[in-house]
Chains A and B, each alone.
Chain A
Amino acid sequence: MTNVIEVTGLTKRFGRLIAVDDVSFVVRSGEIFGLLGENGAGKTTTIEILEGFQKPDQGSATVLGVNPVHAHRHWRDRIGLVLQESDFDPLHTVNETLALFASFFTNPRDVTETLELVGLADRADERIGRLSGGQKRRIDVALGIIGHPDLLFLDEPTTGFDPVARREFWGVIEGLREQGTSIVLTTHYMEEAERLCDRLAIMSKGQIVAEGTSSALISALGATTIRFELPYGVDQSTLCTICKVNFAVRDNVAAVLLGDDVQDVLMRLLTWSQSTGQTLVGLEVVRPTLNDVFLGATGAEP
């Protein structure tokens, strides 16, 4: 399998801030690669270097076999962009806007076909000003794929979507992968990354702090998570003493990641609960999620 992106030791500074700090990764052909991180973690700067908008200070990036700094027309013909925030001239129809953008490419997708792919076929002749926010985001995706790109950059594509729209959008992205498009995705949503990404990297303060498939990252963390609401009048340290493990407490929810010792800890917890009459509201014994990986790797909520 070939690599569509190879990044080695990439570094970018803005004044004294190191936005991207010695980052290396590869994206394989045909996969969805996720770049996760908080705001300011360096995701967008990394993507902008890969798109050719920024020059790295050190390191190298090869995208579709070319250094993006020396991007030429045939290279641009093969990449697509879906931007984090965008808007469109409200006075044009969906069709007119897509037709203009399609005319920029050598081998564009058919406009109607593209609109069907993103679920906007029935709004083709509507003026963009009359569309909802979610529908405008679909135009964004349509513009990203209208040139038949081999590689698509999606920068937080579902921010502002309602849950239904987000699920539909995931279907669109999976459809593109089936057609062989390689995709680089940045996102805030762990559920989205877990569902879509074949492999992912978590960035924090400009560096990659974890990388791999989401299931590998999750199993590396531990087998099981125990979670429940911290009972009234019980503090974190008491809990840790009783159960002999370190519970983390956030928003009044106590949680711990466990390996083989899960039965022992549960037993101690339940025995304590029964003997003191404390109820354990919302008790869960679950597989950890990507969110737990993210918290562990960055020490913050996404």
Chain B
Amino acid sequence: MRFIRLSLAQALYNLRAYLRSARTVVLGVVMPVGLLVILSWVFAHQGQIAVAAGYQMSAIAFYAGGLTAYGLMLGTFTGVMVAVVGAREAGWLKRFRAAPVPPGSYLAGQILFNVLISLGLVVVMMTIATLVYDLHLRAAALSAIFAYTLLGVFCFTAVALAITRLITTPEMGSSVGPFVAITLSFTSGVFLPPDLMPHWLVDVSNYLPLEPLAQSMQSVLASSAGTGYQYRTFVVLGVWGVVSFVVARLSFKWQPLRR
């Protein structure tokens, strides 16, 4: 009970700063929404996008699904890295570690906060896709999107934590995060259909976290029945998440790296 209260208090504390910062809101919500508007407009004449040989989906399902996954990664991966490195270098984590609180409540607070902002992103993206671009959003598809969102936040939080040991300043985190997200987005069928990419690149991306997440969100929005959970997505993101948590557990520093 106390653990939940502590985690929630920290999540809301982070949320308040998030809502006060133009930079994070632009990065986390305005940018994915802007891309959705631009790309849907550019490709509106196509109606259908060829995702793979003999498989097409509507442009709006492709972009709403892909850009939601991309926005989730951009926000969570960058956000956790910047927040944790910033708190560590500012001495907040050291102070937190010395306080009479379970250390895990910091992590739980971060996950909870990122779940909240990611669900916010999902709601905004799905609303615009439905109202403006006539996406037919089924309840089952929406529940699947929520499930994938939780999976994605878990995975990208873990990956971000695992590399905080290499990131010495929050500024470094805020450039590494978007760089990785944008690079992955091109190989993961977010902006361009994977069909246009070299096959080997697509094969590699299949084992990186963004491609399965984007592809699952796209196909559930495109399909006409069921939740269509993809086993592969849970395995790939789950393995990335668990392995990253183990790495984070072994390498995590509560004290500032710079002295």
Which residues from chain A sit less than 8 Å from chain B, CB to CB? 48, 51-53, 73-77, 79, 81, 83, 85-89, 91-92, 96, 100-101, 103-106, 143, 147
CA distance A10 to B86 in the complex (A): 32
Q: What 17 additional pairs, Cβ within 8 angstroms, besides A100-B9, A105-B100?
A: A53-B94, A53-B97, A53-B254, A73-B101, A74-B100, A85-B256, A86-B90, A86-B92, A87-B89, A88-B90, A89-B86, A91-B17, A96-B13, A96-B16, A105-B99, A143-B95, A147-B100
A-B contact pairs, 25 of them (CB 8 A): A51-B98, A53-B94, A53-B98, A73-B101, A77-B100, A81-B95, A83-B91, A85-B91, A85-B256, A86-B91, A86-B95, A87-B89, A87-B90, A87-B91, A88-B90, A88-B92, A89-B92, A91-B16, A91-B17, A91-B20, A100-B9, A101-B99, A103-B9, A104-B99, A147-B99
B91 touches A73 (CB 8 A): no
CA distance A225 to B27 in the complex (A): 64
B1-30 residues with Cβ-Cβ distance < 8 A to A are 5-6, 9-10, 13, 16-17, 20-21
Q: Which of chain A's residues have a CB closer than 8 A to the CB of B86?
A: 89
Q: Which of chain A's residues have a CB closer than 8 A to the CB of B10?
A: 100
A92 touches B16 (CB 8 A): yes
- Min CB distance B64 to A, Å, is 31
Question: Dominant SS at the A interface?
Answer: loop
B227, CB-defined interface residue at 8 Å: no
- Find the residue from B17, B20, B21, B95 having the highest chain A CB count within 10 A: B95
Q: Which of chain A's residues have a CB closer than 8 A to the CB of B13?
A: 92, 96, 100
Residue of chain A at shortest CB distance from B94: A83
Q: Which of chain B's residues have a CB closer than 8 A to the CB of A87?
A: 89-91
B255, CB-defined interface residue at 8 Å: yes
Which residues from chain B sit less than 8 Å from chain A, CB to CB? 5-6, 9-10, 13, 16-17, 20-21, 86, 89-92, 94-101, 254-256
Q: Which of chain A's residues have a CB closer than 8 A to the CB of B96?
A: 104
Residue of chain A at shortest CB distance from B17: A91
B21 touches A91 (CB 8 A): yes
Residue of chain B at shortest CB distance from A127: B20
Question: Dominant SS at the B interface?
Answer: helix
CA distance A74 to B95 in the complex (A): 16
CA distance A267 to B29 in the complex (A): 82
CA distance A48 to B91 in the complex (A): 13
Please judge, given known A-B contacts A100-B10, A104-B100, whether A83 and B95 are in contact too, CB under 8 Å: yes
Q: Which of chain A's residues have a CB closer than 8 A to the CB of B5?
A: 103
- Min CB distance A144 to B, Å, is 8
Please judge, given known A-B contacts A85-B91, A96-B13, A96-B16, whether A52 and B98 are in contact too, CB under 8 Å: yes
Contact of B100 among A76, A86, A92, A96 (CB under 8 A): A76
Q: Which of chain B's residues have a CB closer than 8 A to the CB of A77?
A: 100
- Min CB distance A183 to B, Å, is 16
CA distance A248 to B92 in the complex (A): 45
CA distance A75 to B20 in the complex (A): 36
CA distance A41 to B101 in the complex (A): 32
Residue of chain B at shortest CB distance from A54: B255
Q: Which of chain B's residues have a CB closer than 8 A to the CB of A106?
A: 100
A81 touches B100 (CB 8 A): no
CA distance A143 to B21 in the complex (A): 24
Q: Which of chain B's residues have a CB closer than 8 A to the CB of A88?
A: 90, 92
Residue of chain B at shortest CB distance from A105: B100
Residue of chain B at shortest CB distance from A77: B100
Q: Which of chain A's residues have a CB closer than 8 A to the CB of B9?
A: 100, 103
CA distance A245 to B96 in the complex (A): 55
CA distance A75 to B59 in the complex (A): 59
A76 touches B90 (CB 8 A): no
CA distance A86 to B17 in the complex (A): 18
Please judge, given known A-B contacts A86-B90, A87-B90, A91-B21, whether A79 and B98 are in contact too, CB under 8 Å: yes
- Min CB distance B104 to A, Å, is 13
Q: Which of chain A's residues have a CB closer than 8 A to the CB of B100?
A: 73-77, 104-106, 147
CA distance A214 to B96 in the complex (A): 34
Q: Which of chain A's residues have a CB closer than 8 A to the CB of B97?
A: 53
Q: Which of chain A's residues have a CB closer than 8 A to the CB of B95?
A: 81, 83, 86, 101, 143
Residue of chain A at shortest CB distance from B12: A100
Please judge, given known A-B contacts A87-B90, A87-B91, A88-B90, whether A76 and B98 are in contact too, CB under 8 Å: yes
Q: Which of chain A's residues have a CB closer than 8 A to the CB of B99?
A: 76, 101, 104-105, 147
- Min CB distance B141 to A, Å, is 36
